[in-house]
């Protein structure tokens, strides 16, 4: 696939972009390395001011940036505008807390003075996905820049305008030339860029295949990586849950971003005692969802980002149904232009079908029935992934068990899994490793230097 803006609602190619040449990539690597030498010496106060300014620009341009995101990847405009504003929150979070996260930490040892110091390491490559085209980038860029690192962005090939917009926002905010650069390149160039000795580490958010490929290339060069990969998050509903709230929130948790979120609730695991009632409420909400033009205010679900994603989702659903799965609603792509797929619920998920273990990246909910909490936890953990988990119960003992026994990077009780700048974000198992956001996210790309003085 080339680098292009193709409107997923209409199929229209709006703009194509030439990939950078070898010479252009070399120039950007050189500028990044040169900039790091001076940038790392800028004061924390200065970096914080630049991040604050970036936040103002993100808010000022929220409408325009939202329209850009919606045009490139199809999320409803209201969510896109909210995403731009969330990036501002992320910038302010690191502007306000970065200095405290980076302060020396004294240690008691046999030295006259010993402490831990946090230092930037240089140029970090970020390979990012299209699904949250601004938020994914800012949650990397804000902590990296605050810590004194410089960034190179290889964004997904279907969101080039968003990729360029991030560089423009950070430049307008005042960050020096070379502190953050967008590389318009295909994924075939990533391994070569990581190999370059001027690149010190890399982070990737995306599929398992892309993550494995990046980690292998980085591993050969002894370079650190952070991987934020896929998920098939459970959404567990137990007997004492507030069923109305669980059903309403479950729909939001599944449908956010047209169903294309790594932390979307994908497997709804419901105890038999309340399964009929939950399914009824859940279905009623699905029946009320509006699929259509993502630019319209009342649209709940826009098109999927690319025809390939639509085709893969369709295949997963057809295969699950062929093996015995039942369709409660939806189940087939919508006819006409655009990559539209209707809100779909599948039940009676057959063992061995794609519904059992695969990630469904679109508006398809999978409902599983279990007898009790033991079965619910066992089923939730029987997944190659371990990103987030949401569980609904008002029984404190059950809440404690879920917190302790669910195998995931995060557990949310009586709420949907979400990212928040002040909470670390990441997964275990095939969902990846390392963390973004909070203090932990900032520390991933630092030299944690031990200092001992006598």
Please tell me the distance from the alpha carbon of residue 304 to that of residue 363, in angstroms, as a whole number. 9
Closest among 54, 226, 66, 62 to 138, alpha carbons compared = 54
Q: Closer CB to ligand NAP, residue 121 or residue 159?
A: 159
What is the nearest approach in angstroms of ligand NAP to the Cβ of residue 204?
A: 6
Contacts of 351 (CB under 8 A, 6+ apart): none
What is the nearest approach in angstroms of ligand NAP to the Cβ of residue 344?
A: 18
Check: CB of residue 146 under 8 Å from CB of residue 48: yes
Q: Closer CB to ligand NAP, residue 275 or residue 304?
A: 304
Residues that bind ligand NAP (CB under 6 A): 127-131, 154-157, 186-187, 190, 204-207, 210, 213-214, 228-231, 262, 359, 361, 387, 427, 432
Contacts of 45 (CB under 8 A, 6+ apart): 99
Q: Is 162 designated active site?
A: no
What is the nearest approach in angstroms of ligand NAP to the Cβ of residue 176?
A: 25
Q: Is 91 designated active site?
A: no
Q: Closer CB to ligand NAP, residue 2 or residue 352?
A: 2
Q: Catalytic residue among 72, 83, 167, 228, which?
A: 228
Q: Closer CB to ligand NAP, residue 60 or residue 439?
A: 439
What is the nearest approach in angstroms of ligand NAP to the Cβ of residue 213?
A: 4
What is the nearest approach in angstroms of ligand NAP to the Cβ of residue 127?
A: 5
Q: Catalytic residue among 83, 262, 356, 359, which?
A: 262
Please tell me the distance from the alpha carbon of residue 204 to that of residue 136, in angstroms, as a whole number. 10
In the bound state, the residue with its beta carbon closest to ligand NAP is 206
Q: Closer CB to ligand NAP, residue 370 or residue 442?
A: 442
Which two tokens mark 313? 């989702």
Q: Closer CB to ligand NAP, residue 117 or residue 439?
A: 439
- Active site residue ranges: 228, 262
């Amino acid at each position: 696939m080339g680098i292009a803006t193709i409107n997923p609602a209409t199929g229209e190619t709006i703009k194509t972009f030439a990939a950078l040449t070898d010479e252009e990539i070399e120039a950007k690597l050189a500028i990044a390395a040169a900039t790091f030498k001076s940038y790392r010496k800028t004061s924390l106060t200065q970096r914080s001011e630049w991040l604050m300014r970036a936040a103002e620009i993100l808010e000022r341009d929220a409408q325009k940036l939202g329209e850009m995101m919606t045009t490139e990847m199809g999320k409803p405009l209201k969510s896109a505008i909210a995403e731009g504003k969330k990036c501002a929150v992320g910038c302010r979070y690191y502007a306000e807390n970065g200095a405290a996260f980076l302060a020396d930490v004294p240690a008691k040892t046999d030295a006259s003075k010993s402490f831990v110091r946090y230092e930037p390491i240089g140029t970090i490559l970020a390979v990012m996905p299209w699904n949250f085209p601004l938020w994914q980038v800012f949650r990397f860029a804000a902590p990296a820049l605050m810590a004194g690192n410089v960034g190179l962005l290889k964004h997904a090939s279907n969101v080039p305008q968003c990729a360029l917009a991030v560089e423009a926002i950070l430049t307008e905010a005042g960050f020096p030339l070379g502190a953050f650069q967008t590389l318009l390149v295909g994924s075939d160039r990533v391994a070569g860029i990581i190999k370059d000795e001027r690149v010190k580490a890399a982070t990737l958010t995306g599929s398992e295949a892309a993550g494995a490929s990046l980690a292998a290339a980085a591993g050969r060069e002894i370079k650190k990586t952070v991987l934020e990969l896929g998920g098939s998050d459970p959404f567990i509903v137990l007997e004492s849950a507030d069923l109305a709230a669980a059903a309403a929130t479950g729909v939001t948790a599944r449908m956010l971003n047209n169903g294309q979120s790594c932390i979307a609730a994908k497997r709804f695991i419901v105890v038999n005692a309340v399964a009929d009632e939950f399914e009824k409420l859940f279905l009623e909400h699905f029946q009320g969802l509006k699929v259509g033009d993502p630019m319209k205010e009342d649209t709940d679900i826009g098109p999927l980002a690319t025809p390939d994603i639509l085709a893969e989702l369709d295949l997963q659903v057809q295969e699950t149904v062929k093996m015995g799965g039942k369709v409660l609603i939806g189940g087939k792509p919508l006819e006409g232009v655009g990559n539209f797929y209707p809100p779909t619920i599948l039940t009676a998920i057959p063992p061995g079908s794609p519904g059992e273990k695969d990630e469904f990246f679109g508006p398809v909910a999978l409902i599983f029935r279990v007898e009790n909490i033991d079965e619910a936890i066992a089923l939730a953990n029987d997944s190659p992934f371990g990103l987030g988990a949401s569980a609904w119960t008002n029984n404190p003992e059950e809440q404690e068990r879920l917190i302790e026994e669910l195998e995931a990077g995060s557990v949310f009780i009586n709420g949907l899994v979400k990212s928040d700048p002040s909470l670390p974000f990441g997964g275990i198992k095939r969902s990846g490793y390392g963390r973004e956001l909070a203090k932990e996210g900032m520390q991933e790309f630092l030299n944690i230097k031990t200092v001992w003085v006598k």
